[in-house]
Structure 1
């Protein structure tokens, strides 16, 4: 019997070393949780056994218990690198909408070719849908949905009105040559404003400001207006296409009184409808200068607005502590996409390890309970952070030495038992 007792000790020590080796092998695995082999003694007895004369029969592996203590956190530059500070697991789904749910602490996520947020194995991150204010609209297991980032946002709107409030310099000298947009000496100042066609394509509205020369008398001397007013001419182009008013390419005139206040025009200038080179659809355009002025300071733009809008392209993603995922787009719009679904279990050590830092619910762990981060028992989400393994190398090496000593001791006991048996076999009658 001592042979089998020592053999059980050898097997137990070998199992212990295997568990420790597995921990050490995964010291660099994100989201990995170490395990500890637990053993129990084996006793054979019945009601008639004298407790003072009981002899054990060895040991048996009772459990390979997982330790879900948090690992070390490492900062990264990716907003989709996520970690849970506290209890909980990310939920990922393999395959389609009916695929298997797995749970992980490895929050290294990326975007696949279909704009789904997935882990390294291609399984999709699960979130709860939210409304425009970020409130969850469907929770629990039935509310889970795969997170997909929209490529665009919004509907294109053609620019119909541009408002420009500029300050023109009263000390500017009127150019002498005929206006030529390719010759900078024939105009005083210029502004460029981005506008859009009906498809959301960007165009440039360029305005050229030319101070109108004063009339001259028969002697060639400038005649200053009695009211001290001055006039500027504005030539407007969309790309290479000049804007017209009433079919005329004559410049629009801005008139200022002696105090620098605009007297003409008193309303927005309405150009003739035009067809951009980027489109086949004709569109209107008006230009409002009514907030402009003239002073002794240099030319400047006080404000500039336009009512057009392009389709926004996805430009960034942010994840809050509560797991709210917000996408931002190139047109300035933002959209709430969902809240990260966090799963907890009544008995986390009862989860079955599936490899790839995945766990699966079992009868011992209980069913998953889903919720949102930073609420109750659910940990907070940390963006641009990865949780590493919770393996302590020093501790594991010490445990490995102890397991090795245990193995050697049981091997020695087995050898001693063998020698005793051999001695008995050699006894002669």
Structure 2
């Protein structure tokens, strides 16, 4: 029994090492959120077992929990670099298959079609607005800046306010509202599914996304010209790395000790 208990402990330590290694390797990934491994005790006993004689049979990985704490904010100066100074996620949609993704990495740029996209070409989602910049509906759509305005003047630049209003400026000096950035929130963010590139997808565990404007309710404001860095604390991860390594070594030593005891018993019988 001790062989399997210790072997299970080694596998758990290996899982913990993998999670920590993943955190450390993404310490420079914008919008990345660290994870931690949580374990639970395993016991076995029937209705007739004396509760004072129940012996534990090891531990199992209960969950790998994501930590959505705010990471450090780095100033970049680019108008389309956005950081959320609170809760919420940017919403993007793939132009290829229509997949909806959620992210904290706000590094956006203009595409050749005038869409505001991330590095993978996923399009930022916004609420519709009127000529005064007021939100006029709850539906979201791709953020797209016209190359020329109604007067025929060419596009000159784009800015995004702390309340998420996307404004395009043109060569004739006019400024036109394009939309308002839609932030998403979830009743259980830990239920979001990682899909890579600091993106998540909603699941049955996270619940459906609720959309709102930056700076309203529980949604954080936007900071233009800045990006949110990874929330990984290298010092904390290195301590966890040492602990996981010691746990692995201790379980390996327990297996070695059980082997020696078994060998001693076999020698006694012979």
Instruction: Give the TM-score taking structure 1 as reference length.
Output: 0.62
Q: How does 1:16-415 map to 2 (within 5 A)?
A: 16-95=16-95, 99-139=98-138, 143-155=139-151, 311-415=152-256
Looking at structure 2, the residues matched to 403 and 108 of structure 1 have their Cα atoms a distance apart, in angstroms, of: 34
Extract unaligned runs of 5+ from structure 2.
none
Looking at structure 2, the residues matched to 409 and 428 of structure 1 have their Cα atoms a distance apart, in angstroms, of: 29
Residues 403-426 of structure 1: CA deviation (Å, up to 9, x unaligned): 111111111001101111111122
Looking at structure 2, the residues matched to 331 and 86 of structure 1 have their Cα atoms a distance apart, in angstroms, of: 36
Looking at structure 1, the residues matched to 41 and 226 of structure 2 have their Cα atoms a distance apart, in angstroms, of: 43
- Count of aligned positions: 270
Equivalent residue of 2:38, what SS?
Answer: strand
Equivalent residue of 1:398, what SS?
Answer: helix
Looking at structure 1, the residues matched to 43 and 206 of structure 2 have their Cα atoms a distance apart, in angstroms, of: 29
Residues 340-388 of structure 1: CA deviation (Å, up to 9, x unaligned): 0100000111111000111011111111001111000111111011001
Looking at structure 2, the residues matched to 367 and 337 of structure 1 have their Cα atoms a distance apart, in angstroms, of: 26
Extract unaligned runs of 5+ from structure 1.
156-310
Looking at structure 1, the residues matched to 42 and 259 of structure 2 have their Cα atoms a distance apart, in angstroms, of: 22
Deviation at residue 154 of structure 1 after TM alignment: 3.1
Map of 1:12 onto structure 2: 12
Q: For residues 45 and 428 of structure 1, do their structure 2 counterparts lie closer, same or farther at Cα, with a shift above 3 Å needed?
A: closer
User: Once superposed, which parts of structure 1, at least 4 consecutive aligned residues long, lie more than 3 Å away?
Assistant: none
Deviation at residue 115 of structure 1 after TM alignment: 1.3
Looking at structure 2, the residues matched to 333 and 41 of structure 1 have their Cα atoms a distance apart, in angstroms, of: 65
Larger radius of gyration: 1
Looking at structure 2, the residues matched to 412 and 79 of structure 1 have their Cα atoms a distance apart, in angstroms, of: 56
Which of these residues, 394, 417, 424, is aligned with residue 258 of structure 2?
A: 417
Residues 152-205 of structure 1: CA deviation (Å, up to 9, x unaligned): 1232xxxxxxxxxxxxxxxxxxxxxxxxxxxxxxxxxxxxxxxxxxxxxxxxxx
Equivalent residue of 1:318, what SS?
Answer: strand
Equivalent residue of 1:370, what SS?
Answer: strand
Residues 35-55 of structure 1: CA deviation (Å, up to 9, x unaligned): 000000110011111122111
Looking at structure 2, the residues matched to 326 and 110 of structure 1 have their Cα atoms a distance apart, in angstroms, of: 14
Equivalent residue of 2:217, what SS?
Answer: coil
Structure with more helix by fraction? 2
Residues 294-346 of structure 1: CA deviation (Å, up to 9, x unaligned): xxxxxxxxxxxxxxxxx322112111111001111110111000000100000
Deviation at residue 95 of structure 1 after TM alignment: 2.1
Deviation at residue 90 of structure 1 after TM alignment: 0.3
Instruction: Give the TM-score taking structure 2 as reference length.
Output: 0.98
Equivalent residue of 1:149, what SS?
Answer: coil
Looking at structure 2, the residues matched to 336 and 323 of structure 1 have their Cα atoms a distance apart, in angstroms, of: 11
Equivalent residue of 2:74, what SS?
Answer: strand
